[in-house]
Amino acid sequence: QVLSSLGYHVVTFDYRGWGDSVGSPSERGMTYDALHVFDWIKARSGDNPVYIWGHSLGTGVATNLVRRLCERETPPDALILESPFTNIREEARSHPFSIYRYFPGFDWFFLDPITTSGIKFANDENVKYISCSLLILHAEDDPVVPFHLGKKLYNIAATSRSFRDYKVQFVPFHTDLGYRHKYIYRSPELPRILREFLGKSEHEHHH
């Protein structure tokens, strides 16, 4: 609703194995689904900018997707990562196990050891191959993905050669605001943050 009120179209979908989508989730499958949706949107969006937004586990899908898009030279106009981790292993090490009950989609990952060996969601590795504007949003009091992992991911991206010609921005939200893992959308500052960031990325894109 926040994005719609700012004049953006929002296209989102259920990954395979979730919601109304059949199949069972896998990192590769979820990434493929995102790629398919991107291509569907690109075929219909004309000259309008297309941005990729990932939240939480979705940041892993988003960076997998955008890395592929950049490698095939069809980058999106910007990538926004909300409450991102560096990679699944570091995320897992950051927590008492019980926290995963609150992390949608993590139950299949943790409770099914067959899947664990194949899952990386390596945001930290992917950002080294991404060339487009990047905005990271993270609340300091996030109990699910610790703030320091989002900050670490930003530091990796900010020093990466792949972002040389692009803007990389990190926006922290103070603990006192109480946004935790999934309430950053409540920030009255968010529209301004997005307008400034996306305005600049659109500007860069046209030159």
Between the alpha carbon of residue 189 and those of residues 42, 80, 196, the distances in Å are: 29, 16, 11
Rounded-to-integer distance, Cα 204 and Cα 207, Å: 5
Give the CA diameter of the chain.
49
Rounded-to-integer distance, Cα 59 and Cα 31, Å: 11
| Catalytic residue numbers, as ranges | 56, 142, 181
Token duo for residue 37: 């949706």
Between the alpha carbon of residue 110 and those of residues 100, 115, 120, 133, 189, the distances in Å are: 8, 8, 13, 32, 35
